[in-house]
Amino acid sequence: MAQRLIFTNDVNRELATIVERRHPSSVFLLTDENTHRMVRPLVDLAATDIIIPAGDEHKNIDSLQQVWRALQQGGATRQSLLINLGGGVVTDLGGLAAATFKRGMRFVNVPTTLLGAVDAAVGGKTGINFGGLKNEIGAFAEATDVVISTCFFSTLPTTELKSGFAEMLKHGLLTGSDEFDRLLHFDLDQLSPGQLLDRLQASVLVKQRIVEQDPHEQGLRRALNLGHTVGHAFESHALTCGHPVPHGYAVAWGLVTECVLSHMMMRFPSSTLQQLATFVRRHYGIFSITCDDYDTLLTLMRHDKKSRQGEINCTLLAACGDVRIDVTVTPDDMRTALDIYRDLMGI
Amino acid sequence: MAQRLIFTNDVNRELATIVERRHPSSVFLLTDENTHRMVRPLVDLAATDIIIPAGDEHKNIDSLQQVWRALQQGGATRQSLLINLGGGVVTDLGGLAAATFKRGMRFVNVPTTLLGAVDAAVGGKTGINFGGLKNEIGAFAEATDVVISTCFFSTLPTTELKSGFAEMLKHGLLTGSDEFDRLLHFDLDQLSPGQLLDRLQASVLVKQRIVEQDPHEQGLRRALNLGHTVGHAFESHALTCGHPVPHGYAVAWGLVTECVLSHMMMRFPSSTLQQLATFVRRHYGIFSITCDDYDTLLTLMRHDKKSRQGEINCTLLAACGDVRIDVTVTPDDMRTALDIYRDLMGI
């Protein structure tokens, strides 16, 4: 059964329709402490509430067991429905809890952050962190419905909105220059939830189209990895150094570096690269690295979940919308790309 | 990709072929303490060994985390292979560990018990016990290959062989009277592994055909539930009373009771019912219940994983091979069936 995507500004009406349509034997609603306080009061739905601690550090086996236990104690069956109301932690963990409870109950995602809406809530990847590695344990399991609205975003900090927007930039680059241009001209300092819904819809549908063609990440889906081989390395390195950066910011800097590689290796247009670098520098600032960080970064890239046999593996672009997956990048080329990244950022 | 079933008496050769064919980045081999001691020495395969404690009481989240951790520490990737060498606990738990490690790595099942071969190892149901309920947490995930051999069975206690044979009786009833007759005339007191392999192959293929048509237990697969609504209730009741019975024995008694219901409700032939009852009584003995146990048993049946809205749900037979799934049984009919079961067993 295909995942239904619903773009709306009337979440309550859509949830009522879903419950009527799926006629579950019972309804459970998962939030974290933050979304329970900020968002749950806005949602008019009778359900058994399950509340987990907020933050990526709680996206773990303890919280997962807490959700399983609450479902069990609440008498959930395979015909029940779990509604995940929150950011990526809630939809990833809630999705895994539902996918494994009695070998699978249905769930609905209602992302409350831009990053969640554009990335985690759609596409069937669920998971928790384990043994210090992100999303080490998980399953591919699609929500029956994903209700996407910008109405919850008004209280989000700018950092969070920009994080989500970085994934939208990625989707724009994967689609074509028209959509990418529209995003570059979007006023990121004056994000209005109403205007955002159109662009968000376009962006989510890019991801949906790719996922439909490759649900279990055997090939094409790795297109969505654009910016992430370098981005994850930046993110992990920053975390290790005690100066964590938001995921989306790391992706933005990763996109710049991987577009440099795309230019070096497949003639990705330098004008587009320049536009991207200028936009990222203005809105996301600079992730400052020196040559001394290169070895560490390269080691992190070799340990990426998608790498094989210790090679560095990237998704690159010959042009906007012209995607090449599984490109092996030599350490020398990566070092050169990091040099050029630093030039572009003025480091 | 369909699950490959391999019936053989040369497990080592088949495993070597599988490893060559799947060319994994690394190989892990899961056993429990018993199969590590008894069976592992017979298997000639270079692999990183993972050993969990033996017994259903260890089919839990702690052992699951132990396997995840060993895979992580051993550098397992999505291209690695986990070989589950053991009974139902090892194949169920190992399957779930593999299905969720990095959102899914491949695994091979090598059942070392008859019950494991005929039931747990084939069909994609993985799971662990949680919160006091059996298989409460799990996933549908198929082994790429299942290597089935009777060569490990020679050291099994008779109780275990009879447990497995009860599931074969079930498959016989689901297929047709010819196969059922062949099983009734099998010399259960002189089980020879060689003769057994033919009947086992027939039996496993019955399950395989059903599972292929309904991998996620939406309908037809519930045929395999024959004998289990009552059997599970007997098993749970015995456990609560401090006199646990083997799963397969509970299934054998459950088959008798559900064939009684089949006779009452759909004219299942009384001669076949008599044959079954005689066979079960002779080889499995009697599960002794009184009228005072009926209420408890009915409550347990209403809480079965497959029940809906608190009704008692059974798979019944109009004849051998003529299956009716999702039959609602009234409490009165169930009480009558339990009365007749007691008569047949001479209680």
- Structure pTM? 0.91
Average pLDDT over residues A245-259: 96
Mutation test of the interface with chain A: which of B62, B77, B96, B103, choosing the one with the most A Cβ atoms within 10 A?
B103
* CB B212 within 8 Å of CB B249: no
For A206-243, what is each residue's pLDDT tens digit?
999 999 888 887 788 999 999 999 999 999 999 889 99
Encoding tokens for residue B100?
């969720």
Write the CA distances from B140 to A78, A99, A217, B18, B92, integer angstroms: 13, 9, 18, 22, 10
Residues of chain A contacting residue B65, judged by C-beta atoms under 8 Å apart: 61
Query: How many residues does this entry show for chain B?
Result: 347
| pLDDT higher than 80, residue A190 | no
Instruction: Compute the nearest-CA separation of A79 from chain B (Å).
Output: 8
Residue in chain A lying closest to B92 (CA): A103
pLDDT for res B189: 78
Closest CA to B144 of B104, B96, B179, B108: B108
Domain with A15, as residue range(s), is 4-155
Q: Are B248 and B319 in the same domain? A: yes
Distance CA(A261)–CA(B149), nearest Å, equals 53
Q: Is residue B175 part of a domain?
A: yes
Residues B12 and B147 in one domain: yes
Of A66-80, A301-315, B273-287, the one with minimum mean pLDDT is A301-315
Run of H or E residues at B5: strand B4-7
Which residue in A177, A107, A118 sits closest to A150, CA to CA?
A: A118
Contact B131 A68 (CB under 8 A): yes
Mean pLDDT score, A172-197: 87
Bridge partners, A146 (sequence order): A5, A109
Tokens 């098993």 appear where? B235
pLDDT bracket for residue B1 (50, 70, 90): low
Lowest mean pLDDT among A48-52, A257-261, B202-206: B202-206
- Is B142 found in the same domain as B289? no
- Chain A and chain B share a number of CB contacts under 8 A equal to 81
In this prediction, residues A8-26 reach a mean pLDDT of 96
Residues B176, B150 share a domain: no
How much is the pLDDT for B218?
80
Average pLDDT over residues A104-125: 94
- Pick from B148, B202, B204, B208: which is nearest to B2 by CA? B208
d(C-alpha A284, C-alpha B207), whole Å: 57
Looking at A129, A155, A181, which one is the last position of a domain?
A: A155
- CB neighbours of A60 closer than 8 A, spacing ≥ 6? A128, A129, A130
Sign, Cα dihedral of B318, B323, B324, B326: positive
CB contact set of A340 (below 8 Å; sequence gap of 6+)? A260, A264
* Residue B33 sits in the same domain as residue B102: yes
Please say which residue of B107, B132, B155 terminates a domain: B155
Cα–Cα dist B28/B107, whole Å: 9
Query: Helix H segments across B244-325?
Result: 247-266, 270-284, 294-302
CB B127 within 8 A of CB B137: yes
What is the per-residue pLDDT for A217? 79
* Same-domain status, A84 and A165: no
State both tokens at A181: 């241009």
The whole-angstrom distance between B335's CA and the closest CA on chain A is 26
pLDDT value of residue A133:
84
Answer yes or no: do A68 and B137 touch at CB < 8 A: yes
Which of A57-71, B162-176, B304-318 is predicted with the least confidence, judged by mean pLDDT?
B304-318
**Closest alpha carbon within chain B to A60:** B65
Q: What is the pLDDT of residues B6-46, one digit of tens each?
A: 999 899 999 999 999 999 999 999 999 999 999 999 999 99
Q: Are A112 and A141 contained in the same domain?
A: yes
Burial class (CB in 10 A: 0-12, 13-18, 19+), B44: exposed
Which runs of consecutive H residues, i.e. helices, occur in chain B? 11-22, 33-38, 61-73, 88-100, 114-115, 158-175, 177-184, 193-213, 228-240, 247-266, 270-284, 294-302, 331-345
**pLDDT by residue (tens digit) across B72-120?**
999 999 999 999 999 999 999 999 999 999 999 999 999 999 999 998 8
Check: CB of residue B329 under 8 Å from CB of residue B261: yes
| Interchain contact, A104 vs B140, CB within 8 Å | yes
**Residue in B closest to A133 by C-alpha:** B72
Note whether residue B209 is domain-resident.
no
Task: Answer yes or no: is B105 within a domain.
Answer: yes
Residues B141 and B183 in one domain: no
Residue type, position B341, single letter: Y
Q: Over chain B, what is the mean pLDDT?
A: 94
Which of the four pLDDT bands, split at 50, 70 and 90, describes residue A195? confident
Q: What is the pLDDT of residue A1?
A: 52
- Report yes or no on B44 lying in a domain: yes
Interatomic CA distance for residues B137 and A97, integer angstroms: 9
**Confidence label for A174 from pLDDT (cuts 50, 70 and 90):** very high
pLDDT of B202-237, one tens digit each?
Answer: 999 999 999 988 888 788 899 999 999 999 999 999
B179 with B93, same domain: the answer is: no
Quote the minimal CA–CA distance from B300 to chain A in Å.
14
Question: Is residue B204 domain-resident?
Answer: no
With beta carbons under 8 A apart, name residues in chain B contacting A69. Answer: 131
Q: Identify which of A99, A133, A305 has the shortest CB distance to residue B139.
A: A99
Instruction: Judge if B59 and B132 occupy the same domain.
Output: yes
Which residue in chain B has the smallest CA separation from A129?
Answer: B102
Indicate which CATH number applies to the domain containing A341: 1.20.1090.10
Chain A residues within 8 A of B25 when measuring between CB atoms: 308-309
The CATH number given to whatever domain includes residue A83 is: 3.40.50.1970
- The residues on B that touch A, with CB distances below 8 Å, are 25, 61, 65, 68-69, 72-73, 77-79, 96, 99-104, 125-127, 130-131, 133, 135-140, 216-217, 305, 308-309
Q: What is d(CA A344, CA A268) in angstroms, rounded to the nearest whole number? A: 15
Q: Which of A123, A155, A187 is the last residue of a domain?
A: A155
In this prediction the ipTM stands at: 0.90
**Domain check: are B68 and B179 in the same one?**
no
Q: What confidence tier does B294 reach under pLDDT thresholds 50, 70, 90? A: very high
Closest Cβ–Cβ partner in B25, B99, B131 for A139: B99
Minimum distance, in Å, between the CA of residue B246 and any CA atom of chain A? 22
Cα of A106 vs its chain's centroid, Å: 21
State how many domains chain A has: 2
The pLDDT value recorded for residue A220 is 87
Scan for tokens 């490690």, then name that residue: B101
How many angstroms separate the CA atoms of B313 and B49, rounded? 42
The answer on B174 and B136 residing in a single domain is: no
